[in-house]
Amino acid sequence: MSEIAIYVKNLNKSYNGIKAVDNLDFHVNKQECFGFLGPNGAGKTTTMKILYGKSLKDHNQDTVINIFGLNPETDSLRIKAFSGVIPQQDNLDSDLNVTDNLLVYSRFYGIPKKEAKKRIDELLHFMELQEKAKMKIRELSGGMQRRLTIARALINKPKLLILDEPSTGLDPQVRHLIWNKLRELKESGVTILITTHYMEEAFNLCDRIIIMDKGKKMIEGNPRDLLSSNMEKFVIEIYGACKNQNGCTDYFEKNKIKYEFHNETLFAFSDNIDSLSRFGETLNGFDYHVRHSNLEDVFLRVTGRSLNEYQ
């Protein structure tokens, strides 16, 4: 059905004896959006960097990395020629204006000036920056700089886009704009790799994700499937009220409802919303919140706290 764009098997990377990536396996299909999730230090960025040759993997005979048929250790230039990389930190040239930034970058791909200018016009339109063409980088807001960094990575019409936390620290409007643009790119045939802390982002964009922790893959799959197969449908969060009170836990244990404490908040999970709300109603309205479970709950369950399980 779908062709494989990226195939990685048994990837390892250590820094000074500490394993940043530990026996990682994954593959990405062509035209797919593939997400890496995980807490800071999980090895997401390192994995991405290895894919385009910015980091070197550990030497290990069993490791296989195949990026559209190429190996980043020997063919990183060829890989980068068809890729667009958006690093975690913007690194635009702050002394140059918007157009010049893109023009300088187009030369790295050997794009002739005339063609580059045309392309820059298109890209500024695409990222809704056409009004800013002559502005200096330091006059741009954080969101504009991020959009420009994305535009810059698109200068060579890449077939593979590598984004490291593209929307961290941005306001909701800009985030949604970026998501729309990424969806458009995917529609047009681009394969997208993305790391993110925003569960919502992964849920919105990714066909498949892996959640990593301490360099290892914890869980892999479609975000919706992961949610339905790993989590109950609903969650009640109870703030403070259950701290020194056994009444809460008694109720959950009696009704065989999974619950856990995190700091002073109690989380209880159930497919039956009534059983949660019924308990909530016994509390003061500001002390609790019943909601649909989301990817963040999956994330915390696989990477974070151990669960107090009855049954």
**Interface residues with other proteins (CB under 8 A)?**
15, 52-56, 76-78, 80-87, 89, 91-96, 100, 104-105, 107-110, 122, 126, 152-154, 156-159, 184-185, 188-190
Q: How far is the CB of 107 from other proteins (least distance, A)?
A: 4
Closest to other proteins by CB, 157 vs 216, is 157
User: What H or E segment, with its residue span, contains residue 237?
Assistant: strand 234-239
Is 64 or 77 the residue whose CB approaches other proteins more closely? 77
* DSSP E strand boundaries for 58-207: 64-67, 83-86, 160-164, 191-196
Q: How far is the CB of 222 from other proteins (least distance, A)?
A: 25
Measured CA to CA, the distance from residue 83 to residue 34 in angstroms comes to 15
**Given the complex with other proteins, which of 153 and 211 has the nearer CB atom?**
153
Torsion of CA 108, 112, 115, 121, to 10 degrees: 40
CB 2 within 8 A of CB 32: yes
283: Cβ contacts below 8 Å, ≥ 6 apart: 238, 241
Please state the closest distance from residue 141 (CB atom) to other proteins, in A: 19
Instruction: State the minimum distance, in angstroms, from the CB of residue 40 to other proteins.
Output: 17
53 burial (CB, 10 Å; 0-12 / 13-18 / 19+) is buried
Quick one: 153 or 235, whose CB is closer to other proteins? 153
CB of 138 to other proteins, least distance (A): 12
- Smaller CB separation from other proteins, 186 or 208: 186
